[in-house]
C-alpha cells in the first residue's frame, strides 16, 4: 500500500484548532469546508508544515509518508506547495518571474512556467508587475507558482474566492488533472454546491473536525443546517461547466 499523500496525527493549534487526525490518499481533490473562523486556513497552514506547534505539542504532519518537519528545506519545497487566501505583493516583480519562483527548489527557472501561464490565462499579463494586478489575477499568479513547483501535494487556501466563474472552473480542472497525475489537492472553499462535486470533503466547525468523507455523506441536510445554519435542498438549478 502506498503511503497517504497527506496524514495529520493529532495536530492542534491552541485556540484555533482542536486536536485532529486525518489521512488523505493521493489522486484526490479534497475540499475543506466550514463557516468563517472554523479553522480552515489554520488546518491548511498546519498541513503545509507552516505551523509546527509549540513545545511538546509538536504537530505530526506527514507528506507521502515522510515527516514534513524532518525534511530539508528544499525537499519540502518540492513535496508540498501552499498558497495563502490573500496575496499582497510589496514589490513589483513581473508575473512571469513570480511564477518562475515556484522552480526555486529545483534550481531552474523555466520548466513548465510558460505552460502554466497559458493554463491560468496569464500570458497577456506575463510582463506586468504583480503589485498592479486585481485580486483574481493575483490569486491565479499564486496558483501558477504553486503548480510550477511540481509538488505532488497542493494546499490552497480559498483559491476560488476571488475568481470569476470561468477561471474558477479552469482552476478546478487543473486540480483534477493534478490529482489524476498522482497528486493530491486540498483546498478550502465556501461554495457548498461546488464542494458537492469534489472527491472528498473535510468539514470543520469551531476548530473541530466534524466529518470527513464523500461529499454526499458529509453534507447531509441535517449537518448543513446544524453547522452552517442554512437549509440544504437538492434541486436542478443553474449549472456551469467549461465549454
Could you tell me the smallest distance in angstroms from the CB atom of residue 235 to another protein? 40
**Identity of the residue, 118 or 214, whose beta carbon is nearer to another protein in the bound complex:** 118
Shortest Cβ 92–another protein spacing (Å): 6
Those residues with Cβ within 8 angstroms of residue 214's Cβ, 6 or more apart along the chain or in another chain: 199, 200, 201
By C-alpha distance, which of 149, 31, 23, 22 is closest to 81?
Answer: 149
Rounded CA-CA distance 101/9 in Å is 31
DSSP string for 127-168: TSBGGGS-HHHHHHHHHHHHHHTT-SEEEESSSSTTS-HHHH
Binding site for another protein (CB under 8 A): 45, 48-50, 73-78, 80-84, 87-94, 96-98, 101-102, 104-105, 114, 117, 123, 126-127, 130, 142, 145, 149
Cβ distance to another protein smaller for residue 82 or 228: 82
- Cβ 1 to another protein shortest distance, Å: 28
Backbone angles phi, psi at 187, to 5 degrees: -145, 155
CB-nearer residue toward another protein: 1 or 124: 124
Rounded to the nearest whole angstrom, what is the least distance from the CB of residue 70 to another protein in the complex?
14
Amino acid at each position: 500500500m502506498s503511503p497517504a499523500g497527506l496524514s495529520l496525527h493529532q495536530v492542534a493549534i491552541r485556540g484555533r484548532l482542536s486536536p485532529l487526525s486525518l489521512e488523505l490518499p493521493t489522486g484526490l481533490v479534497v475540499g475543506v469546508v466550514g463557516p468563517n473562523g472554523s479553522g480552515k486556513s489554520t488546518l491548511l497552514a498546519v498541513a503545509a508544515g507552516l505551523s509546527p506547534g509549540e513545545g511538546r505539542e509538536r504537530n505530526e504532519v506527514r507528506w507521502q509518508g515522510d515527516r514534513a518537519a524532518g525534511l530539508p528545506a528544499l525537499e519540502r519545497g518540492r513535496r508540498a506547495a501552499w498558497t495563502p487566501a490573500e496575496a499582497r505583493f510589496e514589490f513589483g516583480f513581473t508575473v512571469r518571474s513570480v511564477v518562475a519562483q515556484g522552480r526555486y527548489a529545483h534550481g531552474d527557472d523555466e520548466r513548465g512556467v510558460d505552460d502554466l501561464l497559458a493554463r491560468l490565462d496569464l500570458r497577456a499579463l506575463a510582463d506586468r508587475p504583480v503589485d498592479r494586478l486585481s485580486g483574481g489575477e493575483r490569486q491565479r499568479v499564486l496558483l501558477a507558482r504553486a503548480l510550477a513547483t511540481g509538488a505532488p501535494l497542493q494546499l490552497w487556501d480559498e483559491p476560488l474566492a476571488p475568481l470569476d466563474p470561468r477561471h474558477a472552473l479552469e482552476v478546478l480542472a487543473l486540480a483534477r488533472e493534478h490529482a489524476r497525475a498522482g497528486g493530491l489537492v486540498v483546498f478550502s472553499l465556501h461554495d457548498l454546491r461546488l464542494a458537492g462535486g469534489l472527491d472528498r470533503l473535510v468539514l470543520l466547525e469551531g476548530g473541530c473536525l466534524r466529518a470527513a468523507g464523500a461529499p454526499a455523506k458529509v453534507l447531509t441536510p441535517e449537518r448543513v443546517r446544524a453547522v452552517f445554519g442554512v437549509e440544504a435542498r437538492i434541486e436542478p438549478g443553474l449549472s456551469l461547466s467549461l465549454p
